[in-house]
Amino acid sequence: MNRNNVFLVGFMGSGKTAVYKEISPLVNAENFDLDEEISKQYGSIETIFEKEGESHFRLLEQKEFSSIPDENCLVALGGGSIESDIIFDKITSSSNAFYLMDNIENLWERIKDSDRPLVRRGKDEVVKLFNKRESLYEKVLNKIDMSKTTINEASEIVIESTWLKDARI
């Protein structure tokens, strides 16, 4: 059976980490939250953005992504990771990638009070970023509309649509 990685993709606030945390304890799979892995290795994302800049963060993101095994993993990606050609190609060629989509108003409501570096730039900049990335996200094979789906429902969709259903604990 094909046990290629299961990827959770989407903009900030779409629910990637929440779905990831819901699925992780239910299945026998290696689990990688890309932002969490970067934080463990290099310090907080906020600090990386402040001291080294976004482009340095994207290089670290690509490096950590490349270190993830190709099979038997559940992977939550950062919102901007789709802008990396290497990550984009891997995600868009995967039958196990899920775009957790939502409209910008719902996303903004979830993230506006967060300490995310890109949110500090303000709503107008976040909207521009969303518009820039949306066409990339749209190329992901599987889509879950998070405006109509709970975290639990999205988790079940991901499990039941992939090899994870056979990896339930």
Point out which residues pair with 99 in neighbouring strands: 9, 143
Contact of 155 with 23, CB cutoff 8 Å? yes
Structure tokens at 14: 């779409």
Radius of gyration of the chain (CA): 15
pLDDT for res 114: 85
Residues 53 and 56: their CA atoms lie apart, in Å, by: 6
Q: What structural domains and CATH numbers belong to the chain? A: 6-160 (3.40.50.300)
Residues 142 and 138: their CA atoms lie apart, in Å, by: 9
One digit per residue, the tens of pLDDT, for the chain of length 169 reads 468 999 999 999 999 999 999 999 999 999 999 999 999 999 998 899 889 988 899 999 999 999 999 999 999 999 999 999 999 999 999 999 999 999 999 999 999 888 887 788 889 989 999 999 999 999 999 999 999 999 999 999 999 999 999 999 9
Which run of H or of E encompasses 104?
helix 104-111
3-state secondary structure of 87: helix
Q: In which order are the strands placed within the sheet that holds 73-76?
A: 30-33, 73-76, 6-9, 97-101, 142-145
Q: How far is CA 62 from the centre of its chain?
A: 13
